[in-house]
Structures are given as C-alpha cells and as structure tokens.
Amino acid sequence: MIRHLLKLVWNRKRSNALIILEICASFLVVFVVATLGLFFLDNYRRPLGFEWKNVWNVRVGIPHTGGGPGDGGSPEQAALFERLLREVRSFGAVEAAAGTAVTPFDQGGFGGSWTIDGKNVEMAIDEVTTGFADVMGLKMVAGRWFQEADSGLAWKPIVIDRELARAVYGTADPVGRPFGKPEPNERQYRVIGVVSDFRKSGELMPNDNFMFRLTDLRAPDVRTPSNLLVRVRPGTSPEFEEALVKHMQAVAPDWSFEVLPLAQVRATSSRFFLTPLIVAGTVAFFLLLMVGLGLIGVLWQNLLQRTREIGLRRAAGASRAAVHRQVLLEQMVVTSLGILLGTLLVVQIPVLDLIGVLSNRVFASGLLFAMVTMYLISILCTLYPSTLAARVQPAEALRYE
C-alpha cells in the first residue's frame, strides 16, 4: 500500500508541489522559532558562575572618562574611587564591594581577539578590583583569585574561565602558564587561576571565553572602573540605597551615581532576548493557524476532484476505513516530502558551521520539534477532508460523466 501511495504522490508531484513548498516553508518557520527557544532553554539550565541576588550595581559617571580611547582617567580619579570603595565597605549593610568595568547581565562589554599558537581565540574581558570574587561569589576550580600583592608583580596576572582554558590550553593545567605574547612595552600575561564559569551575558546566552584582568587603582596607567558592585546583606531595606547614594555623592560631588540591583539588570536583559522570541512565537502561531486552515481547504478541494477515483476504489473493495487511511497516509507522504526539503536546507547550518554557538543537540531538538509539529498539523488538517472522502457514495461518484 505504501509503495502504491508513494507512486501516486510522486506521479502527482506537480500538483502537490505547492503544498510541499508550503509545508517546507512552515517547517522552516517552526524550526527557527523552536531552535531559538530551545537555545535559550539549553543555556538557561547551565550554571551562571556567579550570584546576583542581593548584589547592586552602581554606575559611576566620572566626568570625561570612558568616553575616549586611551582615556582612563587620572590617578586622582582612581584614588577617589578607591576611597569610595573603602567608605562603602564600612557600611554595616554592605558585605563586600568591588570595582568593575563591565556590569554582569549588561549588553555592553569588552572583548578581544587573540592569536595564540596560530589559533584565533575570541574572548570577553572584564577589568576588576580584588574584591570582585567575593561580591559575585565566584568559584575557583584551579589556582587562586587576585590579591592585593599582585599589583607589584613583574607580569600581569589574569584569571580565566574553563572555556577559555580549554580553548587555549586544552586539557593541560593553565595555572602559572603564560597567556599569549605581550604587546611591545607591555608585561606578559600569566594565568593565576581558573573560575568555573562566568556567563556575563546572562542565563540565556551561551558560555563565552572569559578573562579577568586586575584593576590596580594605585598603578599610574590605571583605567578607573565605571561600575561599583556592592553585595548587601539579605533583607536590607531599599531605603539604604538612597543613603548609600547620598554618601557617595558627598564623597564625589562631581560624579554621578545610579544604583541598579542586578536583579533589575537581569530582568531588562532577559526581556531584551525574550521579547523578540515571544513576538516571533506568537506570529509563528498565527501563521501556522493560517497554514492549517489553508491546508484543510486545499485538501478538501483536492479530494472533491478525486471523487471518481475514490468511488472506483470503493467499488474495487475499499472499505470506508481504508479510504480514510489512504487519504491520511497520502498526506503524510506529502508532508514528509516537505519536511525532507526543509531538512535539506536547514542541515546546511551545522554542516557548514554557519552558526558557531548552536550546539548540535539544540539543532537536532529544534529539527525534531519542527518535524513533529508539521506532522501533527498535517494529521489534524486531514481529519475532516478524509472523513468526507470516506463518505463518498460510490454509486453517485461513478455516475458522473
């Protein structure tokens, strides 16, 4: 029976072509939306690498810094920042404080691309003060975090995450090893520790290669951090925020301070990613509804045209159930052709490695989801027309000229 239907569908491929095309296009739409959603889900389940609850980010607006290349600010500004850190730490409600160039969850950031041993390695970077690990609750898996004494070293200490360690050093222990080649007149970078993960872009994004550099507020060429991260004691009232800001403002009247709990930055960042997904998903849903309705109409009309054939088959001994089944199976074959076409198109992505961040697992899940969805839609849309086909009265059907 299947062979017979395959032959039937194949011989009718011209008139089936448009339906196959439509199913292929719908498949692609579902695939894109599903893969995106599964991508976010897959990332969400991995560990973040840091604690964000009870951490506040204070954006520090220092006049005329961070606005220009080579414009890190003056030593006076760095000293003022150091003073701010000290004063902030003295509050009872504050458990830890540190300076950072980049805010976790924030979309902006620092990045770099290095050529190490002939390989091109991309990474995200943050420059932080020593207190950062305490504030963010980082977990070390090898070596150690920065210390105050590190400021005096003849080389530049860095802490990297496991992804970067793997990319550069493979399975070897990176601690103590040099990292890349230094710029002229610059000291050599050397790895002093490895953190478990640090997904600065948030739970919805995949792991970056990450590198931490030490901000030594006493060094002459220091770049004063643009943010101050504060970990407050659980249960601290929001009124403390005002007191904190007022105090900092008093210490540095020229500077601007804006406090944002990391929870809020995280929410904004999630919205930034999830809103397009939700919109795309809603639009996709209505498009699929539209396709489903269209399929019902087209199938119904197709079967109307085949009344004589159906009548003949009934006369040859097909029961109503057999007709029902044939119509369903035929449509499954057509759908399969559409899905096949779509899969051929889509499978280029991992084969050509077009989207690096997409893991094969997410890709395969998206593919599966799209396939199942298209089959489900096809089955649903064939139910009514196939019932009508099965009800064809052979005598009536064969009577027509």
Partner 1 sequence: MINLRQVSKQYRTERIETTALDNINLEIGKGEFISIMGPSGCGKSTLLNLMGLLDEPSSGQVALDGKSIDRYGDRALSRVRNERIGFIFQQFHLVSDLSVVDNVEIPLLYRRMSNKERRKAALAALDRVGLSSRIHHFPTQLSGGQQQRVAIARAIVGRPGILLADEPTGNLDSQMGDEIMGILEDLNQKEKTTIVMVTHDPRMADKTHRVVRLFDGRQVQ
Partner 2 sequence: MIKNYLKVALKVLGRRKFFTFISLFAISVTLLVLLVATALLDNVFATGAPEVHADRMLGVYRMTMKGPENTWTSPVGYAFLDRYVRPMAKLPSVERVTITTAAESVVSYLNGRKIQSSMRRTDGEFWRVLAFDFVEGEPFTTADDENGRRVAVISETTRQRFFDGRPAVGKTLEADGQSFRVVGVVRDVPLLRYSSSADLWVPITTAKSSGYKEGWSGNFSALILARSPADLPQIKAEFQSILRGAEKQIPDPKSFKTLIAGADTLFEGAARLFVPGPPVVDPAIQLRAALLALMLGFMLLPTINLVNINLSRILDRASEIGVRRAFGASSRTLIGQFLIENLVLTLIGAGVGLALAAVVLRIFNASGLIEHAGLQINARVFLYGLAIALFFGLLSGVYPAWRMSKLHPVQALRGRSA
User: Helix (H) and strand (E) counts for the chain?
Assistant: 12, 11
Please state the closest distance from residue 148 (CB atom) to partner 2, in A: 30
Provide the binding-site residues for partner 1, judged by CB under 8 A. Answer: 1, 3-4, 7-8, 11-12, 308-309, 311-322, 393-395, 398-399, 401
Please state the closest distance from residue 303 (CB atom) to partner 1, in A: 14
Q: How far is CA 272 from the centre of its chain?
A: 11
Instruction: Decide: 164 and 211 in contact? Cβ < 8 Å.
Output: yes
CA distance 27 to 337: 11
Amino acid at 226: S
Q: Which is nearer to partner 1, 243 or 315 (CB)?
A: 315
Q: Judged by CB under 8 A, which stretch of 125-133, 163-171, 291-299, 387-395 contacts partner 2?
A: 291-299
Q: Which is nearer to partner 2, 296 or 383 (CB)?
A: 296
CA distance 12 to 266: 54
Instruction: Decide: 387 and 300 in contact? Cβ < 8 Å.
Output: no
Binds 3: which of partner 1, partner 2, none (CB < 5-8 Å by kind): partner 1
Q: Is residue 317 involved in binding partner 2 (CB under 8 A)? A: no
Length of the chain (residues): 401
Q: Which is nearer to partner 1, 286 or 400 (CB)?
A: 400
Please state the closest distance from residue 75 (CB atom) to partner 2, in A: 15
SS3 (DSSP) at 128: strand
Please state the closest distance from residue 241 (CB atom) to partner 2, in A: 6
CA distance 382 to 388: 10
Q: Is residue 286 involved in binding partner 2 (CB under 8 A)? A: yes
Q: How far is CA 245 from the centre of its chain?
A: 34
Q: Is residue 290 involved in binding partner 2 (CB under 8 A)? A: yes
Tokens representing 86 are 């000290």
What mask, x for binding partner 2 by CB under 8 A, covers residues 50 to 79?
---------x-x-xx--xxxxx--------
Amino acid at 123: M
Q: Which of 398, 355, 317, 333 has the alpha carbon at shortest distance from 11?
A: 333
SS3 (DSSP) at 254: coil
The single residue among 304, 368, 376, 395 that binds partner 2, judged by CB under 8 A, is: 304
> 144-161 burial, b for 16+ CB within 10 Å, e for fewer?
ebbeeebbeeeebbbbbb
The single residue among 258, 276, 393, 399 that binds partner 2, judged by CB under 8 A, is: 258
Q: Is residue 297 involved in binding partner 2 (CB under 8 A)? A: yes
Binds 347: which of partner 1, partner 2, none (CB < 5-8 Å by kind): none
Where do contacts with partner 2 occur on this chain (CB under 8 A)? 15, 18-19, 21-22, 25-26, 29, 59, 61, 63-64, 67-71, 238-239, 241-242, 245-246, 249, 253-259, 275, 283, 286-287, 289-291, 293-294, 296-298, 300-302, 304-305, 400-401
